[in-house]
Structure 1
Amino acid sequence: MTFLALSTSVHRYESSGIHTGMWLGEFTHFYDALTGAGHEVTLASVDGGAVPIDPVSLKTPVIQMGGTNKRYEDPEFMALLDDTPAIGEVNLAAFDGIYLIGGHGTMFDFPTEPVARAVAHFADAGKIVSAVCHGPCGLLGVPLASGETLLHGRRATGYSWTEEKLANRTDEVPFSLEDKLRAEAGEYTKAKVPMTKHVVVDGKLITCQNPMSATGVGEAVVELLRA
């Protein structure tokens, strides 16, 4: 099976200019879970080209990364981030599902038409749609062929406002993802303790709350691919 992973292309916050981007561990842990089970993962980004990495994701302690991030020191692996295809140029039919990688950059370019079109393609085809942390920004307002939006009546999770406060990013982000998910989804849940693993599986929709959940979403995807 071949899975499509999607990254943000945004490398700075609009308000301050502080660097942001993809949260690297949320890609590496998912990648390891799927490739370890014999599946392939192709990385794309919203605009194409080099993928920006949130520098905080390289400094966060191991316990918050969700595991040791040895991939950053692997040149062959990191080359995957050097020149990615733009999501609008990807042959979506070639993939068995999509994974929306988190990172604060997603809050600016995931709630856009090219991402919504890609996500809808997989949902309408009955394929797996998965997202972690801020990745669910790409699930907001996605229109389906049925006339409903993707999250209507569905169970979901995503980065909580409490976690946003802990990350000291409440003044940088354009909205509260928790509030958006509560308004759109049938049910939003979160871990009792912030920054701990929380994975929600609703059919072929898999959402996870934070970086500590990245391996969990990979494991959940592997289970669905076995079905």
Structure 2
Amino acid sequence: MSQTLCHPPCQGDQLVVTTLVRNGTPRLGLRAVLSDAPSVGEVRHCGDWREVEDALGAGRVDVLLLHEDDYVRDRGVLAGVRRRRPKLLLLLSSDDVREEILAGPPVPDGFLVEDELTASAVEDALQRTLAGEVPMPTSVTRGLLDRLRESGQHRPREVSLTARENEVLLLLAEGMSNKQIARRLGISSHGVKRIVASLLLKLGAPNRTAAVVTAIQNGLITC
């Protein structure tokens, strides 16, 4: 049975979040951290996909937060849900991302890891997901690198990046936001956005997560 929690006072500019996390331990942890997230005004915790559909049909939903098990098991249902355009934030059991998740579609808009599930991590992930920045914890990037090194699955192709694009790409792989990258490199956030857009085009990637994965697969990120 779904449960809707509104954090009074529920302001119009606060986020409406719907969750589907059926594993008991992470579900309880997620409820606790979402209740402390200052940007969240309403949360509907669903027990199955029918309740998710009901929540989406009942009104505005900004972010759909799923456990990776539900994403993998019910991707066909998810395709219909995604047509309604909530951002998709995926909760991973560990930093070892399953290949079918990275293959998509749909590619998640951001990631959280159960072991790193804190109020600040959730708040940061929500804000960056809505900003289109695709948060990927550093531990997830490292896990991808380790897996590709062990399997030898690099697929080198000719991709010509400028020195600045390489700098931004490495910082994306560290999970930095546009503002953090701008501060690190001493350039404007608008300049970072332009460089990220160029990276997506050159790598043929739909978003930042896919760009990092493609860069790893092609040996552009090796450490």
TM bracket (short chain): 0.3 to 0.5
Query: TM-score scaled to structure 1, two decimals?
Result: 0.33
Greater C-alpha radius of gyration: 2
Query: TM-score scaled to structure 2, two decimals?
Result: 0.34
